[in-house]
Protein backbone atom coordinates (compact mmCIF):
# COMPACT_ATOMS: atom_id res chain seq x y z
CA UNK A 1 0.00 0.00 0.00
CA UNK A 2 1.36 3.40 -0.98
CA UNK A 3 1.18 6.22 1.55
CA UNK A 4 1.73 9.96 1.48
CA UNK A 5 2.24 12.11 4.59
CA UNK A 6 1.77 15.87 4.31
CA UNK A 7 1.45 18.79 6.70
CA UNK A 8 -2.15 19.11 7.88
CA UNK A 9 -3.93 21.17 5.22
CA UNK A 10 -6.14 24.25 5.50
CA UNK A 11 -9.34 25.09 3.62
CA UNK A 12 -9.25 28.70 2.47
CA UNK A 13 -12.92 28.78 1.37
CA UNK A 14 -15.62 26.92 3.28
CA UNK A 15 -19.37 27.10 3.89
CA UNK A 16 -20.59 25.58 7.15
CA UNK A 17 -24.12 27.06 7.29
CA UNK A 18 -25.65 27.42 10.77
CA UNK A 19 -27.92 25.84 13.35
CA UNK A 20 -28.23 22.08 13.72
CA UNK A 21 -26.45 21.47 10.41
CA UNK A 22 -23.18 22.51 12.08
CA UNK A 23 -23.22 19.14 13.86
CA UNK A 24 -22.58 17.59 10.43
CA UNK A 25 -20.48 20.18 8.63
CA UNK A 26 -17.99 21.13 11.34
CA UNK A 27 -16.68 17.59 12.07
CA UNK A 28 -16.57 16.83 8.34
CA UNK A 29 -14.05 19.63 7.75
CA UNK A 30 -12.22 19.42 11.09
CA UNK A 31 -11.32 15.75 10.53
CA UNK A 32 -8.68 16.94 8.06
CA UNK A 33 -8.32 20.72 7.99
CA UNK A 34 -6.71 22.75 10.76
CA UNK A 35 -7.79 26.23 9.62
CA UNK A 36 -10.70 27.21 7.43
CA UNK A 37 -11.96 30.51 6.08
CA UNK A 38 -15.67 30.47 6.92
CA UNK A 39 -18.01 32.22 4.50
CA UNK A 40 -20.48 34.80 5.90
CA UNK A 41 -23.49 34.36 3.57
CA UNK A 42 -25.96 33.33 6.23
CA UNK A 43 -29.46 34.77 6.59
CA UNK A 44 -29.03 37.45 7.82
CA UNK A 45 -25.47 37.89 6.53
CA UNK A 46 -22.52 38.15 8.93
CA UNK A 47 -21.62 41.82 8.49
CA UNK A 48 -19.92 42.80 11.77
CA UNK A 49 -17.13 41.54 13.98
CA UNK A 50 -19.63 40.88 16.76
CA UNK A 51 -21.82 38.76 14.51
CA UNK A 52 -18.79 36.85 13.23
CA UNK A 53 -17.52 36.04 16.71
CA UNK A 54 -20.97 34.87 17.80
CA UNK A 55 -21.11 32.63 14.71
CA UNK A 56 -17.63 31.35 15.53
CA UNK A 57 -18.80 30.35 19.01
CA UNK A 58 -21.63 28.32 17.47
CA UNK A 59 -19.12 26.59 15.20
CA UNK A 60 -16.81 25.75 18.08
CA UNK A 61 -19.73 24.42 20.10
CA UNK A 62 -20.32 21.86 17.33
CA UNK A 63 -16.69 20.71 17.31
CA UNK A 64 -16.15 17.25 18.83
CA UNK A 65 -13.90 17.33 21.88
CA UNK A 66 -11.24 15.15 20.25
CA UNK A 67 -10.82 17.48 17.26
CA UNK A 68 -8.90 20.72 16.79
CA UNK A 69 -10.07 23.35 14.33
CA UNK A 70 -9.53 27.09 13.83
CA UNK A 71 -12.32 28.94 12.00
CA UNK A 72 -11.14 32.16 10.40
CA UNK A 73 -14.16 34.37 9.96
CA UNK A 74 -14.94 36.42 6.86
CA UNK A 75 -17.30 39.38 7.06
CA UNK A 76 -19.92 40.10 4.42
CA UNK A 77 -19.02 43.28 2.53
CA UNK A 78 -22.00 45.54 1.84
CA UNK A 79 -22.64 49.13 0.78
CA UNK A 80 -22.98 49.93 4.50
CA UNK A 81 -19.61 48.50 5.58
CA UNK A 82 -17.72 51.26 7.39
CA UNK A 83 -14.06 52.13 7.72
CA UNK A 84 -14.51 51.71 11.48
CA UNK A 85 -15.61 48.09 10.94
CA UNK A 86 -12.54 47.50 8.79
CA UNK A 87 -10.31 48.76 11.62
CA UNK A 88 -12.14 46.57 14.12
CA UNK A 89 -11.67 43.53 11.87
CA UNK A 90 -7.98 44.29 11.44
CA UNK A 91 -7.49 44.25 15.21
CA UNK A 92 -8.96 40.75 15.73
CA UNK A 93 -6.90 37.76 14.54
CA UNK A 94 -10.05 35.63 14.38
CA UNK A 95 -11.28 37.75 11.45
CA UNK A 96 -9.60 36.93 8.13
CA UNK A 97 -11.09 39.58 5.83
CA UNK A 98 -14.17 40.76 3.95
CA UNK A 99 -16.04 38.80 1.30
CA UNK A 100 -17.35 40.61 -1.77
CA UNK A 101 -20.48 39.02 -3.21
CA UNK A 102 -22.01 40.78 -6.21
CA UNK A 103 -25.71 41.04 -5.45
CA UNK A 104 -27.51 37.96 -6.74
CA UNK A 105 -24.38 36.06 -7.75
CA UNK A 106 -24.87 32.94 -5.61
CA UNK A 107 -26.59 31.46 -2.55
CA UNK A 108 -27.75 34.09 -0.03
CA UNK A 109 -26.13 36.97 -1.92
CA UNK A 110 -29.12 39.31 -2.10
CA UNK A 111 -27.43 41.70 0.33
CA UNK A 112 -24.31 41.81 -1.83
CA UNK A 113 -22.62 44.71 -3.54
CA UNK A 114 -24.38 46.53 -6.38
CA UNK A 115 -21.60 49.07 -7.10
CA UNK A 116 -18.00 47.93 -6.75
CA UNK A 117 -16.78 51.45 -7.51
CA UNK A 118 -18.60 52.83 -4.47
CA UNK A 119 -16.43 50.64 -2.22
CA UNK A 120 -13.31 52.74 -2.79
CA UNK A 121 -13.08 54.25 0.75
CA UNK A 122 -13.51 50.83 2.34
CA UNK A 123 -10.99 49.20 0.00
CA UNK A 124 -8.52 51.97 0.78
CA UNK A 125 -8.96 51.25 4.50
CA UNK A 126 -8.51 47.52 3.90
CA UNK A 127 -5.31 48.20 2.00
CA UNK A 128 -4.06 50.49 4.77
CA UNK A 129 -4.83 48.06 7.59
CA UNK A 130 -3.82 44.84 5.82
CA UNK A 131 -7.30 43.32 5.64
CA UNK A 132 -7.74 40.89 2.70
CA UNK A 133 -10.56 41.12 0.16
CA UNK A 134 -12.09 37.77 -0.80
CA UNK A 135 -13.99 37.96 -4.08
CA UNK A 136 -16.77 36.01 -5.72
CA UNK A 137 -15.81 37.18 -9.19
CA UNK A 138 -18.92 37.27 -11.35
CA UNK A 139 -21.06 39.99 -12.83
CA UNK A 140 -24.80 39.43 -12.62
CA UNK A 141 -26.07 41.47 -15.57
CA UNK A 142 -28.85 39.54 -17.30
CA UNK A 143 -27.40 40.26 -20.73
CA UNK A 144 -24.06 38.60 -19.86
CA UNK A 145 -23.91 34.88 -20.61
CA UNK A 146 -23.46 32.86 -17.40
CA UNK A 147 -20.32 31.25 -18.84
CA UNK A 148 -18.75 34.70 -19.36
CA UNK A 149 -19.54 36.23 -15.99
CA UNK A 150 -16.12 35.62 -14.46
CA UNK A 151 -14.23 37.02 -17.44
CA UNK A 152 -16.34 40.17 -17.55
CA UNK A 153 -15.99 40.73 -13.78
CA UNK A 154 -12.21 40.54 -14.08
CA UNK A 155 -12.15 43.03 -16.94
CA UNK A 156 -14.72 45.38 -15.47
CA UNK A 157 -13.79 45.35 -11.78
CA UNK A 158 -10.73 43.35 -10.70
CA UNK A 159 -8.16 44.86 -13.03
CA UNK A 160 -9.16 48.42 -11.96
CA UNK A 161 -9.16 47.40 -8.26
CA UNK A 162 -5.64 45.99 -8.43
CA UNK A 163 -4.45 49.08 -10.29
CA UNK A 164 -6.04 51.49 -7.82
CA UNK A 165 -5.13 49.49 -4.68
CA UNK A 166 -1.88 47.60 -5.43
CA UNK A 167 -1.24 46.95 -1.73
CA UNK A 168 -4.61 45.26 -1.15
CA UNK A 169 -4.47 41.52 -0.59
CA UNK A 170 -7.06 40.09 -2.98
CA UNK A 171 -8.14 36.47 -3.33
CA UNK A 172 -10.21 35.53 -6.35
CA UNK A 173 -12.23 32.61 -5.03
CA UNK A 174 -13.08 29.34 -6.82
CA UNK A 175 -11.63 30.34 -10.18
CA UNK A 176 -13.12 28.64 -13.23
CA UNK A 177 -11.52 30.06 -16.39
CA UNK A 178 -8.25 30.54 -18.19
CA UNK A 179 -9.03 34.25 -17.97
CA UNK A 180 -8.83 34.01 -14.17
CA UNK A 181 -5.59 32.03 -14.37
CA UNK A 182 -4.07 34.73 -16.56
CA UNK A 183 -5.31 37.56 -14.35
CA UNK A 184 -3.92 36.02 -11.15
CA UNK A 185 -0.63 34.98 -12.77
CA UNK A 186 0.00 38.44 -14.21
CA UNK A 187 -1.20 40.46 -11.19
CA UNK A 188 1.07 41.68 -8.41
CA UNK A 189 2.19 39.51 -5.48
CA UNK A 190 -0.84 40.53 -3.41
CA UNK A 191 -3.26 38.65 -5.69
CA UNK A 192 -3.98 34.92 -5.37
CA UNK A 193 -6.73 32.40 -6.11
CA UNK A 194 -8.44 29.39 -4.58
CA UNK A 195 -9.39 26.28 -6.56
CA UNK A 196 -12.16 23.77 -5.87
CA UNK A 197 -12.06 20.02 -6.45
CA UNK A 198 -15.06 20.14 -8.80
CA UNK A 199 -13.50 22.71 -11.12
CA UNK A 200 -10.28 20.67 -11.31
CA UNK A 201 -11.99 17.30 -11.80
CA UNK A 202 -14.93 18.29 -14.01
CA UNK A 203 -16.14 20.53 -16.81
CA UNK A 204 -19.58 21.48 -18.05
CA UNK A 205 -20.06 18.12 -19.81
CA UNK A 206 -20.24 16.60 -16.32
CA UNK A 207 -23.13 18.95 -15.57
CA UNK A 208 -25.14 18.66 -18.78
CA UNK A 209 -24.34 15.54 -20.83
CA UNK A 210 -26.75 12.66 -20.31
CA UNK A 211 -29.14 14.85 -18.33
CA UNK A 212 -28.79 17.70 -15.89
CA UNK A 213 -26.78 16.59 -12.85
CA UNK A 214 -27.87 18.89 -10.02
CA UNK A 215 -25.20 17.77 -7.54
CA UNK A 216 -22.50 19.02 -9.92
CA UNK A 217 -24.19 22.42 -10.19
CA UNK A 218 -22.26 25.19 -8.48
CA UNK A 219 -21.55 28.88 -8.97
CA UNK A 220 -19.41 29.92 -10.67
CA UNK A 221 -20.69 27.24 -13.04
CA UNK A 222 -18.47 24.54 -14.53
CA UNK A 223 -16.90 25.76 -17.75
CA UNK A 224 -15.59 24.30 -21.03
CA UNK A 225 -12.90 21.62 -20.96
CA UNK A 226 -10.37 24.13 -22.33
CA UNK A 227 -10.84 26.20 -19.16
CA UNK A 228 -10.61 23.10 -16.96
CA UNK A 229 -7.27 22.30 -18.59
CA UNK A 230 -5.98 25.80 -17.83
CA UNK A 231 -6.99 25.41 -14.18
CA UNK A 232 -5.29 22.03 -14.01
CA UNK A 233 -2.10 23.46 -15.47
CA UNK A 234 -2.11 26.25 -12.88
CA UNK A 235 -2.65 23.85 -9.97
CA UNK A 236 0.13 21.57 -11.23
CA UNK A 237 2.54 24.43 -11.96
CA UNK A 238 3.70 24.94 -8.38
CA UNK A 239 2.85 28.63 -8.61
CA UNK A 240 2.17 29.69 -4.98
CA UNK A 241 -0.62 32.03 -6.09
CA UNK A 242 -2.94 29.03 -6.56
CA UNK A 243 -4.05 26.99 -3.55
CA UNK A 244 -6.80 24.91 -1.98
CA UNK A 245 -10.24 26.31 -1.23
CA UNK A 246 -13.01 23.73 -1.43
CA UNK A 247 -16.03 26.04 -1.56
CA UNK A 248 -17.76 23.07 0.07
CA UNK A 249 -21.40 24.17 0.22
CA UNK A 250 -23.97 21.93 1.90
CA UNK A 251 -27.54 21.79 0.61
CA UNK A 252 -30.09 19.12 1.44
CA UNK A 253 -31.14 16.76 -1.34
CA UNK A 254 -34.63 18.23 -1.60
CA UNK A 255 -33.22 21.67 -2.40
CA UNK A 256 -30.85 20.34 -5.07
CA UNK A 257 -33.23 17.94 -6.80
CA UNK A 258 -36.05 20.33 -7.58
CA UNK A 259 -37.41 22.42 -10.44
CA UNK A 260 -35.06 25.24 -9.43
CA UNK A 261 -32.15 23.59 -7.68
CA UNK A 262 -29.65 25.58 -5.63
CA UNK A 263 -25.95 25.91 -6.39
CA UNK A 264 -23.20 24.27 -4.38
CA UNK A 265 -21.18 21.06 -4.07
CA UNK A 266 -20.79 19.55 -0.60
CA UNK A 267 -17.24 18.19 -0.90
CA UNK A 268 -16.14 18.31 2.76
CA UNK A 269 -16.63 14.57 3.48
CA UNK A 270 -14.00 13.70 0.86
CA UNK A 271 -12.22 17.00 0.30
CA UNK A 272 -8.52 16.17 0.59
CA UNK A 273 -9.13 12.79 -1.03
CA UNK A 274 -10.66 14.55 -4.06
CA UNK A 275 -7.61 16.77 -4.45
CA UNK A 276 -5.36 13.72 -4.05
CA UNK A 277 -7.36 12.06 -6.82
CA UNK A 278 -6.66 14.98 -9.13
CA UNK A 279 -2.93 15.18 -8.40
CA UNK A 280 -2.57 11.38 -8.65
CA UNK A 281 -4.30 11.38 -12.04
CA UNK A 282 -1.53 13.70 -13.23
CA UNK A 283 1.31 11.81 -11.53
CA UNK A 284 1.92 14.87 -9.35
CA UNK A 285 1.19 13.80 -5.77
CA UNK A 286 4.46 15.44 -4.77
CA UNK A 287 2.76 18.80 -5.44
CA UNK A 288 -0.25 18.18 -3.18
CA UNK A 289 1.37 19.36 0.07
CA UNK A 290 2.34 22.80 -1.21
CA UNK A 291 -1.08 23.30 -2.82
CA UNK A 292 -3.02 22.12 0.25
CA UNK A 293 -0.82 23.00 3.21
CA UNK A 294 1.78 25.63 2.31
CA UNK A 295 0.81 28.20 -0.31
CA UNK A 296 -2.45 29.41 1.25
CA UNK A 297 -0.98 29.71 4.72
CA UNK A 298 1.97 31.68 3.41
CA UNK A 299 -0.24 34.05 1.41
CA UNK A 300 -2.38 34.82 4.46
CA UNK A 301 0.67 35.14 6.72
CA UNK A 302 0.42 31.91 8.72
CA UNK A 303 3.02 29.28 9.48
CA UNK A 304 2.66 25.82 7.97
CA UNK A 305 0.88 23.46 10.33
CA UNK A 306 3.18 21.21 12.34
CA UNK A 307 0.68 18.36 12.52
CA UNK A 308 0.54 15.90 9.63
CA UNK A 309 -2.02 13.66 7.95
CA UNK A 310 -1.35 10.46 6.03
CA UNK A 311 -3.15 9.42 2.88
CA UNK A 312 -3.16 5.78 1.84
CA UNK A 313 -3.84 4.37 -1.61
CA UNK A 314 -6.89 2.33 -0.76
CA UNK A 315 -10.01 2.55 -2.96
CA UNK A 316 -13.25 3.55 -1.26
CA UNK A 317 -16.66 4.78 -2.33
CA UNK A 318 -18.11 8.16 -1.41
CA UNK A 319 -21.46 7.72 0.37
CA UNK A 320 -24.58 8.03 -1.79
CA UNK A 321 -26.34 10.14 0.86
CA UNK A 322 -25.68 11.54 4.32
CA UNK A 323 -28.20 11.96 7.11
CA UNK A 324 -28.29 15.47 8.61
CA UNK A 325 -30.54 17.36 11.00
CA UNK A 326 -31.98 19.22 8.00
CA UNK A 327 -32.62 16.10 5.92
CA UNK A 328 -30.70 13.79 3.55
CA UNK A 329 -27.77 15.35 1.71
CA UNK A 330 -25.95 14.07 -1.38
CA UNK A 331 -22.21 14.79 -1.15
CA UNK A 332 -20.13 15.74 -4.15
CA UNK A 333 -18.81 12.64 -5.98
CA UNK A 334 -21.52 10.52 -4.33
CA UNK A 335 -21.31 6.84 -5.26
CA UNK A 336 -17.97 7.26 -7.05
CA UNK A 337 -14.75 5.54 -6.10
CA UNK A 338 -11.70 7.47 -4.92
CA UNK A 339 -8.27 5.88 -4.82
CA UNK A 340 -6.87 7.67 -1.76
CA UNK A 341 -8.18 8.07 1.77
CA UNK A 342 -6.98 9.57 5.03
CA UNK A 343 -5.56 6.97 7.41
CA UNK A 344 -7.17 7.14 10.83
Q: Which residues are annotated as a binding site?
A: 13, 15-17, 41, 99, 136, 174, 219, 247, 251, 263
Check 92, 247, 286, 323 and give the catalytic one: 247
179 catalytic residue (yes or no): no
Residue (of 266, 276, 264) closest to 315 by Cα position:
276
> In this structure, are residues 137 and 153 in contact, taking their beta carbons and an 8 Å threshold?
yes
* Helices marked H in 107-252: 120-129, 149-153, 159-164, 178-186, 197-201, 205-208, 225-236
What span, in angstroms and rounded, lies between the C-alpha atoms of 310 and 48? Answer: 38
End-to-end Cα, the chain, rounded Å:
15
Binding residue positions for Zn(2+): 13, 15, 99, 136, 174, 247
Give the angle subtended at the CA of 136 by the CAs of 120 and 86, to the nearest 5°. Answer: 40
Binding residue positions for substrate: 15-17, 41, 136, 219, 251, 263
Residue (of 173, 161, 172, 170) closest to 189 by Cα position:
170
3-state secondary structure of 39: coil
The catalytic residue positions are 247
Amino acid sequence: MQQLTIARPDDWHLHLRDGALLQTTVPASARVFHRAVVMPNLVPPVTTVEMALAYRERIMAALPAEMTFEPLMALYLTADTSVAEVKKAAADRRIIGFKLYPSGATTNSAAGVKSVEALAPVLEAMQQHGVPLLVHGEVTDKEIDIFDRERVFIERHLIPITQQFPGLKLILEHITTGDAVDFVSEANENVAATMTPQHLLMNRNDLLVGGVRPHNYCLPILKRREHQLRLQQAALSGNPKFFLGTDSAPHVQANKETSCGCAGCYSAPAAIELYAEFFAQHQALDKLENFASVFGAAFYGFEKNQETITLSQSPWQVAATLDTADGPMVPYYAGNTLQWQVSE
